Amino acid sequence: MNQTQVSLCATQKTLILSLKTQTLPHGLVPKRLNTTNKISFHHNVTLTVTLTVGSPPQSVTMVLDTGSELSWLHCKKTQNFNSIFNPLSSKSYSPTPCSSPVCRTRTRTLPIPASCDQNKLCHATVSYADASSMEGNLASETFYIGNSARPGTVFGCMDTGFSSNSDEDSKTTGLMGLNRGSLSFITQMGFPKFSYCISGRDSSGVLLFGEASFSWLQPLNYTPLIQITDPLPYFDRVAYTVQLEGIKVSEKVLPLPKSVFVPDHTGAGQTMVDSGTQFTFLLGPVYTALKNEYMQQTKGILTLLNDPNFVFQGAMDLCYLVPLNRPILPQLPKVSLMFRGAEMVVSGERLMYRVPGMVRGGNSVYCFTFGNSDLLGTEAFVIGHHHQQNLWIEFDLVKSRVGLAEVRCDLAGQKLGLGV
């Protein structure tokens, strides 16, 4: 992994960090300030960013996750967790007691409530859709973004846990939670908005905290965040929830009523923009309609795998055979996700993912990059980062909206002086 490069804009209103990508064997399902912060990241399977934490500073690599609240670091070295943060080596590390207001009130939006351990310290647990889970203590520490020190940042210092992907754990130190909860990294930093841009070409990108005012960035199309006041069992109130209104294959709109995209009385069926998930997952009836139309429009263009026993990553069952001697995929029908006020067009290579190491009779196996949420046991539509490539995506916390604009993200990184 390349070292993170950081540069400040001339206006000093934005901090930009270079995002670098972790290439892993398989994916996971998984106060206002006057400075702007930008960081560089990696993607492909997980988006990662490198920061320094503690006094003296220790380098950590964190997975970027807009679907989570609590940021956390591995704090105990084990066979799987090679990259850790050592709290004993930091003079600024401070564990959070149970009696603290942070433990008693600010943990309320965490999916698993905080508890009190035998040492009267605030105990935190996180778990994910791929069955990974981590436990440890809440603590505060100094995080550095570029040259900017952020003392008192609350995070989880995790010492036990189970992971379904030991390859990832050998390469990352933890996770940066960026949803709208009170303990998320972006909320604690106090920025009114943040953006990222993921390159589809070279596994690089940009993470930007603050205002993105660049002459080369075209105006963004905004879609409002959907918010509810009453708690519902299946609705994540601190996620970046937008309203999906329809899906097109080429120019044909799927014949589905808009009601299938609206959350029901339990909150099931929200549409979340999630950088911590690789692919995009749709609830069963919508996925089936998309799959059938895509099969219809690719007849004579692609050869179906026709193996009912093969489901990629447990939720992606539309797969094709592509001859090994074929250097590029044929022209494919694009898929457009239609949101209220904005549209996300998925085309070309982003529509297909080559299953690593899988060969069938002189053919590679490629799978359609939309999956069935029902097969994952997820009661939501999830827009993953694979379909966010070459889009400038802005999360505006003040105006409660998400903005989209098409852009070459590898060139954006160069324009911002990150050398990505």
Q: Give the catalytic positions in this structure.
A: 65, 274
- Find tokens 């000093």 and name the residue: 12
Please state the φ and ψ torsions of residue 103, each to the nearest 5 degrees: -70, -40
Kindly list the distances between the CA atom of residue 49 and the CA atoms of 40, 72, 259, in Å, as whole numbers in the listed order: 6, 13, 38
Query: What are the E-state strand segments in 23-57?
Result: 37-42, 46-53
Cis-peptide into 151, omega within 30 deg: no
What does DSSP say about strands 380-383 and 270-273: parallel, antiparallel, or unpaired? parallel
Q: Which DSSP symbol is given to 295?
A: H
Kindly list the distances between the CA atom of residue 203 and the CA atoms of 13, 41, 44, 48, 115, in Å, as whole numbers in the listed order: 26, 8, 6, 11, 39
Kindly list the distances between the CA atom of residue 351 and the CA atoms of 200, 204, 261, 369, 403, in Å, as whole numbers in the listed order: 12, 19, 21, 5, 22
For residue 242, give the amino acid letter.
Answer: V
Q: How far is the C-alpha of 351 from the C-alpha of 334, rounded, in Å?
A: 8
Among 47, 9, 362, smallest CA distance to 199 is for 47
Within 10 A of 125 (CB to CB), how many other CB atoms are there? 19
Rama region for 267: left / alpha / beta (φ>0; ψ in -120 to 50; rest): left
Q: How far is the C-alpha of 109 from the C-alpha of 2, rounded, in Å?
A: 35
Q: How far is the C-alpha of 89 from the C-alpha of 136, rounded, in Å?
A: 17
